[in-house]
Structure 1
Amino acid sequence: MAHRLRLFLSVVLFSALFVPFSSAAPPNIVLLLSDDMAWTDYGFMGHPDIQTPNLDKLASESAVFPRGYVPTGLCRPSLATLLTGHYASTHGVTGNDPSPKYAPRDSELFNQRRAQLISYLDRFETVPEALGKLGYLSHQSGKLWEGSYQNAGFTHGMTRGFPQPGGRHGDDGLKIGRSGIEPINEFLDLAVAEDKPFYLWYAPFMPHTPHTPPQRLLDKYRDGRPITIAKYYAMCEWFDETCGQLMESLEKRGLDDNTMIVYLTDNGWIQNPDKNGYAPRSKQTPYEGGVRTPIFYWMPGKIKAGTRPELVSSIDIYPTMLAAAGAPLPDDRPGLNLLPQLTSGDAIPRDTLFGEGFAHDIADIEDPEATLLYRWCIEGKWKLLLTYDGEVNRYQSTHPRTEKGPQLFDLIADPAENNNLAKEHPDVVARLAEKINNWYPVKRAQTITTPSP
């Protein structure tokens, strides 16, 4: 009898501390999304100089995945993946713009192609559309390429989008963060007044160029650093400050008790010390500097906090958010619903991540392979890049394909990816290449065949 009583009390105590999602009101969901930020550039990731106290606090209470990735190291395809839950080769938005080589900018044909790219979103149910069926309100601020906020399925937002004048990658939405967060506060007040759950897309144009931080933050990082580095560091902290403002807004309204927060960056960044831009093997590439990002999930009392060793991808965020809200999960999404592992602490059943890279400008908006540059996968410590001769563009000089064959890296021993081990381990290359082919078969041949030992 005493044993049964102790067991009963243990269950009651566990339930009080760790309420499952299914027994609570639908949670609010917040996506915190930085823009052009290196995976190393946070206090909680061990950066010795950049200070991110607000994100550090959230991370300390979150399930943190230092080995997080986006499948494509470029903002528009990466954001479209977050909206749709699909890889770029499936949702069709592989680059940022139609190539001006084949249709001059602002020509009728160029604008027709812009409109066609945006229309690809109509083929999928976006996160805010799926949540809207459950009564969620939703708000978009910051970066958005796929037309207006309404076109992406949000009930409220800031971006007017193409074909409105200046509509491209966020327009009015790009003011968020840099000019305060009042539009978000107004939306939160509306959600409270209507007593409805909400989905918040906070994707400020930060620390993205132009690097124009407040002077007080720039002065903080000037000591002994190139001005380009100091500005970038200051931008990272400025972004963190805005995340703190958002958390204060949630707490002030009593909304933090039933809110899930997901954090990541849209693609990586390595600041070039010599100019206001990014270094090679950074943004637009499949190297760690282009596709790696910490990803964390925050919801104290429901998501178990701790640093996790597993591989995760932004492709998982769509099904995980829907599961948290109690929405049905589509069968065709390739990502994993991580909610069971986030709440239990169990290991995630995955051994391989996949990704792809395309040129910034899209040569053929109906044929992703026309600008295919890379396919890649990560399995344990191994990372394999396969290189393709898709058409490059005006940005080629910023990320030249210096090695045009299989590239195999041991990410544990060589996280900077300096040593290509493909010739030493042809068996690993062959095995991982087969996995890539099974994931995303293509007609285009590799630029160089698998090397011999």
Structure 2
Amino acid sequence: MKNLSLVVLTLGIATYFTSCKEVKQEIAEKQKEALPNIVFIISDDQAWTDYGFMGHEHIETPNLDKLANESLTFSRGYVPTSLCAPSLASMITGVYPRNHMVLGNDRVLPGDDKKGKPAWTLPWRASNYVPVVENFKKLNTLPKMLKKKGYLSFQTGKWWLGNYSNGGFDYGMTHGDPDRGGRHGDYGLEIGRKGMDTLYNYIDLALEKKKPFFMWYAPFLPHSPHNPPDSLLQKYLPKAPTEYVAKYWAMCEWFDITCGELMDYIDKKGQTENTIFVYVCDNGWVQNENDGAYNPISKQAPYDYGLRTPIMYKWKGKIAPGMDTLSLTSSLDMVPTVLDLLGLESSEELDGINILDETERNNREAVFGEIYNHDFNTIVEGLKYRMVMTNPYKLIVPDPKNRPNEKIQLYNIFKDPFEQVNLVDERPEVVDDLRNKLEASWNPKL
């Protein structure tokens, strides 16, 4: 009897611990399931005006209009710089270009002979960029931070910093090998333009592994080449002043269509209520009417046509939808906002705020920006402009060393959203106040 009791007791203890283990595993699985997926949708070269919900008379963006209606949408969003490589690097790190040091798209050194050609076409471009990539690999990125919560991270679309793994992604489309044409996305640039299957496969993989996922969807849209499907081009040709403009407008709708396909797939998989969507554009674009180039008031410029973007946050049932036309927000807020939603903290200081926190939002006095040469080397040699945006004023300060013939500009963005009337002589007290704010915020790694 004693032996029998011992066997029963042993079995009971084993059953108890097995049950406890199973319960813990079940709880862990439920906790994983409860973590929301995160999707960054990033437009490429699109003006803040060029959406249906932002009031464009001709461009149709029904899917983004729907997203805007279901999100807390900020119409006065900004990126810190109006060029893609530094802008995207800020989105994934949450810090200004002066802190992540991806200042431009290409790096030139003293003595480099460009011979009138763009840096990216020359053989030394890739070797010059190596230190930029190596420095970036040391930085804390959102995918790296999300690993603490068990996330799988996927890269699709544009990515300037070599292989996707350099940003902490687990999987991605961009190999980044310069010997195979790697520069700013390579195979990643096919997403959207050549279908969405790779992205769908990543989502399926995360669901199969029962892990939450972070998706970086930064397609090469509506970026040039402006070669939209003919059906879209024919739709806009009668409405546009020229074919160049019609092509750009059609590209904006093509991008919108792909966004709809992405959101529909997530809904089909039953993940809409468990997914945080964040929308932003990397920098602006104003299409020239008589050629395929952009107007210099947009991309690489300090004006709102280059810097301003709607920014949206959607989490069905968790984030109350609304259109905020007054609050200042920046793409730098994307990382801290997502981290706060997940109860995570960054090990390093971030330059943005949790924009969903009403107190932080209301206490914000300004957001800042900085623009460097497309072909850069150092902050001192490459800085072109610094900007400070407040309610209602915006100050543009050209660098005296690199832009010696340009003057400071001040605009009342509320009354003059297209920056036509320079108020610098009329409001010197505002200029002084904003310059003080700008200098107080300036802490570059020289």
TM over 0.5: yes
Q: CA separation in 2, counterparts of 1:52 and 1:324?
A: 28
What's 1:138 paired with? 153
Q: Which has the larger radius of gyration?
A: 2
SS at the partner of 2:386?
A: strand
What's 2:384 paired with? 373
Kindly provide the CA deviation profile for residues 36-78 of structure 1, in whole angstroms up to 9, marking residues without a partner as x: 0000000111111100000011110110100000000000000
Q: 1:434 to 1:265 in 2, by over 3 A?
A: same
Q: 1:42 to 1:109 in 2, by over 3 A?
A: closer
CA RMSD of aligned residues (A): 2.2
Structure 1 residue corresponding to 2:424, chosen from 416, 422, 425: 422
Structure 1 residue corresponding to 2:328, chosen from 311, 328, 349: 311
Give the drift of 1:93.
0.8
Contact residue 372 and residue 389 of structure 1 kept, 8 A: no
Structure 2 residue corresponding to 1:179, chosen from 167, 170, 194: 194
Contact residue 32 and residue 210 of structure 2 kept, 8 A: no
Q: CA separation in 2, counterparts of 1:422 and 1:102?
A: 39
Q: CA separation in 1, counterparts of 2:405 and 2:49?
A: 25
Give the drift of 1:164.
4.4
Give the drift of 1:338.
2.3
User: Percent same amino acid at aligned positions?
Assistant: 46
Q: CA separation in 2, counterparts of 1:404 and 1:72?
A: 19
SS at the partner of 1:254?
A: coil
Give the drift of 1:407.
0.5
Contact residue 140 and residue 149 of structure 1 kept, 8 A: yes
Contact residue 319 and residue 337 of structure 1 kept, 8 A: yes
User: 1:17-416 counterparts in 2 under 5 A?
Assistant: 25-99=34-108, 102-104=111-113, 110-225=125-240, 226-308=242-324, 309-341=326-358, 347-362=361-376, 364=377, 367-389=378-400, 391=402, 404-416=406-418
Kindly provide the CA deviation profile for residues 205-263 of structure 1, in whole angstroms up to 9, marking residues without a partner as x: 00000000000000000005200010000000000000000011101111111100000
Kindly provide the CA deviation profile for residues 137-194 of structure 1, in whole angstroms up to 9, marking residues without a partner as x: 0110000001111111101110001444211000000000001110011111111111
Kindly provide the CA deviation profile for residues 289-325 of structure 1, in whole angstroms up to 9, marking residues without a partner as x: 1100000101121001001120000010111122222
Contact residue 338 and residue 348 of structure 1 kept, 8 A: no
Give unmatched runs, 5+ long, in structure 1.
Answer: 1-21, 392-400, 445-453
Amino acid of the structure 1 residue aligned with 2:327: E
Deviates more, 1:23-32 or 1:302-311: 23-32
Q: CA separation in 2, counterparts of 1:175 and 1:443?
A: 35
Q: CA separation in 2, counterparts of 1:356 and 1:320?
A: 22
SS at the partner of 2:437?
A: helix
Q: CA separation in 2, counterparts of 1:403 and 1:189?
A: 55
Kindly provide the CA deviation profile for residues 72-103 of structure 1, in whole angstroms up to 9, marking residues without a partner as x: 00000000101111101111111100127743
What's 1:17 paired with? none
Amino acid of the structure 2 residue aligned with 1:242: T
Contact residue 374 and residue 386 of structure 1 kept, 8 A: yes
Amino acid of the structure 1 residue aligned with 2:330: S
Question: Normalized per residue, which structure has more helix?
Answer: 2
Q: 1:209 to 1:407 in 2, by over 3 A?
A: same
SS at the partner of 2:429?
A: helix
Amino acid of the structure 2 residue aligned with 1:198: F
Kindly provide the CA deviation profile for residues 347-378 of structure 1, in whole angstroms up to 9, marking residues without a partner as x: 5421211111111101x2xx212111111101
